[in-house]
Amino acid sequence: MSLAERVRYPQFHNRIMTAEAAAALIPHGVNVGMSGFTGAGYPKALPQAIAARAKAEHAAGKPYKINVWTGASTASECDGVMAEAHALGQRLPFNTDPTARKAINSGEIDFIDMHLSHVAQHAWFGFLGHMHVAVVEVLGVTADGLLIPSTAVGNNKTWLEIADQVILEVNTKPPAKMEGMHDIYYGTAIPPRRMPINMTHADQRIGDQYLKVDPNKVIAVVETNKGDRDNVFAAPDANSNTIAASIIDFLAHEMQMGRLPKEMLPIQSGVGNVANAVLAGLLTGPFENLLGFTEVLQDGMLDLLRAGKMSKASATSISLSAAAYKDFEDHIDFYRERIILRPQEISNHPELVRRLGIIAMNSMIEADIYGNINSTHVMGTGMMNGIGGSGDFARNGYLSFFVTPSVAKDGKISCIVPMCSHVDHTEHDTQIIVTEQGLADLRGLSPKQRARVIIDKCAHPDYRDQLNDYFDRARAQGAQHTPHLLTEALSWHQRFMDTGDMRV
């Protein structure tokens, strides 16, 4: 489908230009809101043109950096290319690109790690500063000037509302038949004028199919014809399959005990191979008519929809492997009736997560023996990706799982440690920890009880004696509520930094 067919609003025709011409409209030092959520729906042409401009300005001895706010991660052709060109001054709220990560950890980029449910409202409240330009990928523009959202909604609604100027990237690659898949809620307001969000079922539609924009804000329309990044998911390994089996067995047991309804509660699944393994396990599990209420729809949920095990899936983004995306395109009529894409301030909204009773499953870097969780930092200081939406779901979910293999780096790092080197989720937000060693149900347990269960159920045998020794010696100091040896609490991390191995 041509650009003229995708842009049916005549007023925008004279604003069609190249990416290079549009990039020239974005000055140094401004705050730019870009579309994109977990490798989907991000601008493809503008970031590359911005990077080229930055390189030219730097070669001429002039400064050029912009501050970029998105929904979540983008891709190497967006974050990566701008980071490589030293065009990023500030970045929020999430990043997975290795080039940008290196610049963040070197101190070149000021990275702000945020709960994804906070980003739109904090920007709207003015907490983050003024947004000068929004760069938003859309699939087209209707004859009435409404915008057809792309493969990710993210924070686009808010960016279009609060930005002074808007640049539209019209991507003619995704199927035009995605039109109608989206549900854009326009009932939000700034306190004290907020009203309850009227959603009581995960598959309920509460908004419009289109994004709105003030036509006078639109300063450029740029064409792209390129798919999202190929999200390569490895086949589930033995550890992932074992973790998935433990979770599914636990859910079946909770249902037998009457703590879960027979129709099952909606499922949120984080990004990655372990999450896909859990979804794959649900294909053969005892549960029917599942509902998804999550941030990112991955290959595993597509499989569940196609098999009829899941009836509907709600997300803010579709992030697929190349093979799964081909299936999505080929069967778009089928999926359009079963997938709802919403703004992330709805997909991650704590009020909805709690009301709908979401079962949350998220990955972690490490957990300590009391249930505190580190989702973001390697050895306490190096940013990996960000907290993402895990906090939105963990604190408010009906059930909350944190999952990880018990060891990393060929066993040289234990993912169960005496004390986390960085805490993103406190013990108060952690219900269940799962590794390939087992599942620790922490509900209703005191700190000392949690420690024994986590060590016995989740720690790798190579580290279990070390953890028990630490805990026993900490308890021997006296009857503390949460026993720790403060001189040794982070010694495991220091040992790894010094020797490359946490083992004694």
Helix (H, G, I), strand (E, B) or coil at 413: strand
Contact between 305 and 326 (Cβ < 8 Å): no
Phi, psi of 284 (to 5 degrees): -105, 5
Nearest to 9 by CA among 303, 226, 240, 210: 210
Nearest to 173, CA basis, from 119, 215, 228:
228
Partner residues linked to 95 by β-bridges: none
Pair type for strands 407-408 and 413-414: antiparallel
Question: How many helices and strands (H and E) does the chain possess?
Answer: 18, 25
Q: Of the listed 77, 295, 345, 427, which one is catalytic?
A: 295
Which DSSP state fits 216? G
Spatial CA neighbour of 419 closest among 504, 502, 477: 502
| CA pair distance 168, 146, nearest whole angstrom | 12
Spatial separation of the C-alpha atoms in residues 371 and 368, rounded to whole Å: 5
> Within 13 Å, how many C-alpha atoms sit on residue 127's CB side?
11
300, 461, 435: which is closest to 373 by C-alpha? 435
Question: Residues 390, 424: contact at Cβ < 8 Å?
Answer: yes
DSSP bridge partners of 67:
31, 90
Cα-atom radius of gyration of the chain, to the nearest Å?
Answer: 23
Cβ atoms < 10 Å from Cβ of 82: 29
Q: Which amino acid is at 257?
A: M
Enumerate long-range contacts of 377-383, CB under 8 Å, 24 or more apart.
377/421, 377/422, 379/421, 379/493, 379/496, 379/497, 380/421, 380/422, 380/490, 380/493, 381/105, 381/421, 381/422, 382/105, 383/95, 383/101, 383/104, 383/105, 383/111, 383/113
Annotated catalytic residue 295? yes
User: What are the structure tokens assigned to 178, written together?
Assistant: 């995605």
Residue ranges at the known binding site for CoA: 270-274, 365, 385, 389, 409
Q: Using CB atoms within 10 Å of the CB of residue 478, give its burial: 0 to 12 exposed, 13 to 18 middle, 19+ buried.
A: exposed
Q: Which are the catalytic amino acids?
A: 295
